[in-house]
């Protein structure tokens, strides 16, 4: 690819294959592609043509530009990954190849631009928060159902977007269920939309699907303790949750908010619990100054602050940043509440789970599905 890149004319809109050009360099004027534009419905239909709302949209321009650049990087990376991901690759190979491409297209630059969280590649009954730790030799299999969940950001504007990889067509209905459920969540989202009503609509779609595995039928269940969430700069889970079952709180979505709309379908219990061997960590966003007496922990926190800030990270990335023998220090930071651990989330062993996720923004004039692409 370095050979291609050397002679490649840097003209806007033409990416190399594999991608080697940063999105910022492909769109030097800063006009990054819009996501899918959806008009609001009913009581908010007027917003689309309101001059006042169009003026408010302008004030939003910088945040949108950053989010769209991150989204274009996300689309570029995932379409590249879709071209080569296959059984027989190790999860480590998959994640490192994805992350290398992501770092290039986002033009990684300290905390201004980079990867928003570790590449999730949770397999089968594991629904979320698995990425290989150093030394993990797990290999992707033909019969696996793998959720690829990765994030990009520009100036802390995070794109959180995921899809499910599978090779055996017997899982089509499971994957389609999550896809349809997420699209229903996106459709129901909007200014003044109530979170509980979105959850109910998602559940109805998800549970209308069934999967036949080894002669047995399973109704697809929503994983009831996983949900979508609002997103703020450098804060992946910003306080509002978008349930994927009925019975949530009747809180309203508001103008200007960013949301990750994600759904998880399962052939198991539809309930996840923490598993062992944690890989995902994130600094507590609201933590003040906590005195640390152990030098190794102090040093590790300095590395975390410099490399990740309040964005999530994993053990592979800690090692990549040059840390060695950091496990006790990391545990100490977790014990002090400075860092939180996010272990893998699993349903019952032997079941299969699928996920689909997009990032949307509730602009004053319209709803924009920023991470939408030709693939999903």
Residues with catalytic annotation?
Answer: 149, 160, 229, 237, 262, 357
- For residues 327 and 272, what is the distance between their CA atoms, to the nearest angstrom? 26
Q: What number of other Cβ atoms are within 10 A of residue 327's Cβ? A: 13
- For residues 112 and 152, what is the distance between their CA atoms, to the nearest angstrom? 11
Beta strand residue intervals within the chain, DSSP E: 36-38, 113-123, 126-128, 145-154, 157-166, 210-213, 216-219, 221-222, 228-231, 241-242, 258-266, 273-274, 280-283, 313-314, 339-342, 345-346, 353-362, 367-369
- For residues 64 and 157, what is the distance between their CA atoms, to the nearest angstrom? 9
Q: 73 phi and psi, to 5 degrees?
A: -65, -45
Token match 């100490």: residue? 332
C-beta of residue 147 within 8 angstroms of C-beta of residue 233: no
C-beta of residue 174 within 8 angstroms of C-beta of residue 354: yes
Specify the DSSP element, H or E, that contains 187. helix 172-188
- For residues 325 and 316, what is the distance between their CA atoms, to the nearest angstrom? 13
């Amino acid at each position: 690819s370095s050979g291609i890149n050397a002679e490649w004319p840097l003209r806007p809109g033409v990416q190399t294959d594999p991608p080697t050009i940063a999105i910022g360099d492909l769109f030097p004027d800063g006009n990054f592609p819009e996501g899918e534009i959806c008009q609001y419905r009913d009581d908010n239909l007027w917003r689309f043509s309101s001059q006042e709302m169009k003026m408010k949209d302008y004030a939003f321009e910088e945040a949108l530009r950053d989010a769209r650049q991150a989204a274009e990087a996300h689309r570029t990376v995932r379409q590249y990954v879709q071209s080569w991901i296959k059984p027989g690759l190790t999860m480590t190979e998959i994640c490192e190849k994805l992350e290398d491409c992501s770092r290039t297209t986002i033009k990684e630059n300290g905390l201004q631009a980079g990867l928003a969280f570790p590449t999730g590649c949770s397999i089968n009954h594991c629904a979320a928060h698995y990425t290989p730790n150093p030394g993990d030799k797990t290999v992707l299999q033909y019969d696996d159902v793998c959720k690829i969940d990765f994030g990009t950001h520009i100036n802390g504007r995070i794109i959180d977007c995921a899809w499910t990889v599978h090779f055996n067509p017997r899982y089509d209905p499971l994957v389609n269920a999550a896809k349809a459920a997420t699209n229903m969540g996106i459709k129901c989202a909007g200014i003044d939309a109530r979170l509980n009503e979105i959850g109910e609509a998602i559940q109805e779609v998800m549970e209308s699907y069934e999967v036949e595995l080894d002669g047995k039928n399973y109704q697809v269940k929503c994983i009831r303790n996983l949900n979508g969430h609002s997103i703020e700069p450098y804060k992946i889970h910003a306080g509002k949750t978008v349930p994927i079952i009925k019975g949530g709180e009747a809180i309203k979505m508001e103008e200007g908010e960013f949301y990750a709309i994600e759904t998880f379908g399962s052939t198991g219990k539809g309930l996840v619990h923490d598993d062992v061997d944690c890989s995902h960590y994130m600094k507590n966003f609201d933590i003040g100054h906590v005195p640390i007496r152990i030098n190794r922990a102090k040093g590790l926190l300095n590395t975390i602050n410099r490399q990740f800030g309040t964005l999530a990270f994993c053990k592979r990335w800690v090692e990549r940043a040059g840390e060695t023998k950091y496990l006790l220090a990391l545990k100490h930071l977790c014990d002090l509440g400075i860092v939180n651990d996010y272990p893998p989330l699993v349903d019952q062993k032997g079941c299969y789970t699928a996920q689909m996720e997009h990032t949307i923004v509730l602009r004053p004039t319209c709803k924009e599905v920023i991470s939408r692409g030709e693939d999903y």
